[in-house]
């Protein structure tokens, strides 16, 4: 990634404001330590310790106000993401021809890739994707009447030799954290703790290793263009370079997320927005790059089973007072449609949950 190809250049209205970037100090920081001494949130009631009750209220407030928050004392040992970041750097430092030995394609959309687009503009990054459950089953196509499915299989490079081991270790740790967060969100919606867990029986979750090289024109390109995450929630580990920006709900301003050591950044995805019937909102975010430092990040995209129909939860719908605000859609078909843009530039914007919005 040397000179900037025009494919990377953002439209003027979407270019980052490098000099005036704000730091999002207002993004909540939530301490999950009350969970560490608690075996299960099942059977949650007002008789639970006050620290747990307060934690649920914190989750509710931040999901409503920001859609983004950071967590500390989350139970994931510091060495787990650190080892994966080290292995990721070793992989991305390999020659391009070596990385391309595990390049993903339309037959198997897992592995290495360096030409991904967001909103039909190329991102200044390279990635390596792997699924949590190997193999993972998804629809063969996004066509509604096509009932065929296929398997996605992880492919691992020869070097670094420990990449698979550290990836799988990271999977186990962050999957547990994701279920804890899911249960807290469920409780914050006044639902039973495990109300949402069943949707993930045959989960389609995947993890991405992101590498953002130094960019000679950071005022023109983005590491990842503006977007919302399609799944349920995202758990992000990042280095100390920084670059994630969130579009603040109150005024639409792009604000920079301040990286806190040993924390994870969490954001509400589209599916949570639909399940919650718009109580919670999936928020636009993007990644800016810089001309001096490379950056690494590791998002865990927590996604349900491919056969799940996504719609507002019946407990949160009242046809007279709070009618359903979305038509139902099949997650696997939605996921497959979104994957189309990974391998070709589309002439229109990819499918969004707004396509299923019910007019008031």
For residue 224, what is the domain's CATH number? 2.60.120.330
Asked whether residue 108 is assigned to any structural domain, the reply reads yes
Asked whether residue 298 is assigned to any structural domain, the reply reads yes
Q: Is the pLDDT of residue 63 over 60?
A: yes
Q: Could you tell me where the beta strands, DSSP code E, fall in the chain?
A: 22-23, 29-31, 68-72, 111-113, 117-118, 121-122, 126-131, 136-139, 149-152, 206-212, 224-227, 233-238, 244-247, 254-256, 264-268, 285-287, 295-302, 309-310, 329-330
Instruction: Tell me how many domains the chain contains.
Output: 1
Mean pLDDT score across all residues of the chain: 92
- Supply the range of the domain harboring residue 244: 6-356
Q: What is the pLDDT of residue 319?
A: 87
What is the distance between the alpha carbons of residues 134 and 171, in angstroms, rounded to a whole number?
11
Asked whether residue 1 is assigned to any structural domain, the reply reads no
What is the distance between the alpha carbons of residues 222 and 262, in angstroms, rounded to a whole number?
25
Q: What is the pLDDT of residue 157?
A: 97
- The stretch 306-327 carries a mean pLDDT of 96
Asked whether residue 167 is assigned to any structural domain, the reply reads yes
Asked whether residue 307 is assigned to any structural domain, the reply reads yes
Length of the chain: 360
Cis link prior to 250 (omega < 30° from 0)? no
Q: What is the pLDDT of residue 21?
A: 47
Structure token pair of residue 65: 């106000």
Q: Is the pLDDT of residue 173 over 70?
A: yes
Q: What is the per-residue pLDDT across 15-60, written as a single tens digit (0 to 9) for each?
A: 987 644 455 555 899 999 999 877 778 777 777 788 899 999 999 9
Q: Are 90 and 159 in contact (CB under 8 A)?
A: yes
Cis link prior to 160 (omega < 30° from 0)? yes
Asked whether residue 278 is assigned to any structural domain, the reply reads yes
Coil/strand/helix, residue 323:
coil
Those residues with Cβ within 8 angstroms of residue 320's Cβ, 6 or more apart along the chain or in another chain: none
pTM of the model: 0.95
């Amino acid at each position: 990634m040397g000179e900037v190809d025009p494919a990377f250049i953002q439209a003027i209205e979407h270019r980052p404001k490098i000099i005036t970037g704000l730091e999002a100090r207002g993004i909540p920081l939530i301490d999950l330590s009350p969970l560490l001494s608690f075996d299960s949130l099942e059977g949650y009631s007002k008789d639970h310790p006050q620290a747990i009750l307060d934690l649920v209220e914190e989750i509710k407030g931040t999901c409503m106000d920001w859609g983004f928050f950071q967590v500390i004392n989350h139970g994931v040992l510091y060495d787990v993401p650190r080892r994966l970041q080290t292995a990721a750097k070793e992989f991305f430092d390999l020659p391009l021809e070596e990385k391309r030995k595990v390049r993903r394609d339309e037959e198997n959309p897992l592995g290495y890739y360096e030409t991904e687009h967001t909103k039909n503009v190329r991102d200044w990054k390279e990635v390596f994707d792997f699924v949590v459950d190997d193999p993972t089953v998804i629809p063969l196509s996004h066509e509604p009447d096509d009932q065929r499915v296929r398997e996605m299989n992880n492919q691992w490079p020869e070097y670094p030799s420990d990449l698979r081991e550290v990836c799988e270790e990271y999977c186990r740790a962050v999957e547990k954290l994701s279920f804890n967060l899911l249960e807290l969100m469920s409780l914050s919606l006044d639902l039973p703790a495990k109300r949402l867990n069943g949707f993930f029986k045959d989960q389609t979750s995947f993890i991405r290793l992101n590498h953002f090289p130094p960019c000679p024109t950071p005022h023109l390109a983005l590491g990842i263009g503006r977007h919302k995450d399609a799944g349920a929630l995202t758990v992000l580990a990042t280095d100390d370079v920084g670059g994630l920006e969130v579009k603040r709900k109150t005024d639409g301003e792009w604000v920079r997320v301040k990286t806190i050591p040993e924390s994870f950044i969490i954001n509400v995805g589209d599916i949570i927005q639909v399940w919650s019937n718009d109580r919670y909102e999936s928020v636009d975010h993007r990644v800016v790059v810089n001309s001096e430092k490379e950056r690494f990040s590791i998002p865990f995209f927590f996604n349900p089973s491919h056969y799940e129909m996504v719609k507002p939860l019946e407990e949160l719908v009242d046809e007279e007072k709070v009618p359903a605000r979305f038509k139902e859609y099949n997650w696997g078909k939605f996921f497959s449609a979104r994957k189309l843009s990974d391998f070709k530039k589309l002439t229109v914007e990819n499918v969004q949950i707004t396509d299923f919005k019910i007019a008031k």
